[in-house]
Every structure is written in C-alpha cells, then in structure tokens.
Amino acid sequence: MKVIPAIDVRNGKTVQLVGGKPGTERFAIDDVTGIARRWQDEGAEMIHIIDLDSAMGIGNNEELIENIIGGLSIPVQVGGGIRTVDKVHRLFEIGCERVIVGTRAIQERPFVEDLSQQYTDGIVVALDSVADKVMIKGWQESSGRGLLTVAEDLETLPFWGFLYTNVEVEGRLEGINPVAIERLIKATTKPVIVSGGVTAMSDLATLRRMGVDSVVVGTAIYTGHINFKKAVREFS
C-alpha cells in the first residue's frame, strides 16, 4: 500500500481545506516546490496534487505544477478541474504519471471512454462522495448519482482505477468511514485510492487490511498527527 502525500494548491500556495470549502484553510504554505521535495526526501513514492483553483473554476496553477514535477524524481498524479481532452494532454506532456478526472467523467461516460483508450494506465476517476452521492464541480454540487452506481457504470472501461474521497470527513482529523470504503472496494475490481479523514496510523492499518491500493494523506501529516516518514516505513 502506497502512502501518498497530498499537495492541494490554491493561489500558488499549499493549503488544506475542511470539507473542500474555501475560507476554511488550516494553513497556507508559500514554498510549494519545497514541500514536494520534503515529502520525496521522506520516502514518498508518488505525490498527489490537486489544483483547487481549477476545480473551482477560478484559475489554474499549471505552471507551478510543471515546476513541481520538474523538481522531483518520483511520479506525480494531478487532479482538479480537468474537464477537457486538451487539458489532459497538457498534463501528460508536462510529466504527469496519472491524471485524475472527476466532474465531466461523472456526467459524460464517453469522455472517460475516450481518455481510457488513449491513456489506459494513466487515468484515475475521482469519486468524491457526500451521503453516498457523487459530488462535482470542486465538491460544490451533487451529481445526484449514487457512489456505487457510478463505479459499476464505469467499471468496464480500461482506465487505471478510482480515487475515493469522503468529503464529509475531509480535513476534519476525525478519522475515516470504513463502511463506505469497504462497499466500494467490493463493488470494483479496479485499484482504489482512498482520501479523506485519514488521521492516525490506525486508519492506515485499517485501510491496508481492507486492501486499498494507496492512501492519500493531507492534513494529518501537515499537523503532525501522522509522522509521514514513519508511515511510509510501516505501510509502503
């Protein structure tokens, strides 16, 4: 199981929002490339970057993301507001290992189908959930579609896997909801990356027992609730 550090970027800074809501930043760090190098130095096998400005439709941080990738020797997966084929192409061109698609993937199955055929091992579909409904547009709207319904609908397409985020526990440092995660794992044969609510080493142990491919950790490693280097040593 990979333990992957999260770098959420807003206005050119690393932030962590509670439940994805603007204005709830727990911190804002200016040296984003330095943070990425720090996690690499502490043993990260991959970096997870979300462009919050792009997700919310208020700009993008593509140049910064390119600089981050250029300064690392480990792979990077990027998500946030990726709703056109051209943007997917650009992200792969600047060196992304995987590209995470959410809103349009949920709304338009042919979009995922096309990307899957072009980048079979490079596409991850984001399933961002509130009350078992998949959220879209930077977690600001509900798609009205059930989590397992979407997963089962997309299951046969040849993309890499799913990124599941429980928005209700995201950034709150109150632990994970294992029930929803377990249901998704049983509903798909694809690898599942889990994000949201990971607060302690015990959460990581639970997720490893459940068979998740990777875990994205954010607020917990920035606040010291989880020692990232130790987590990598124990679980990777």
Catalytic residue annotation: 8, 128
Q: Which residue bears the tokens 């044969």?
A: 189
Distance CA 46, CA 48 (A): 7
Answer yes or no: are the C-beta atoms of 197 and 216 closer than 8 Å. no
Pairing outcome for strands 192-195 and 214-217: parallel
- The secondary element (H helix, E strand) that includes residue 162 is strand 161-166
Distance CA 21, CA 207 (A): 26
Distance CA 83, CA 33 (A): 25
Distance CA 136, CA 115 (A): 19
Helix or strand or coil: residue 228? helix
Pairing outcome for strands 28-29 and 13-15: antiparallel
Q: Which residue bears the tokens 């770098």?
A: 7
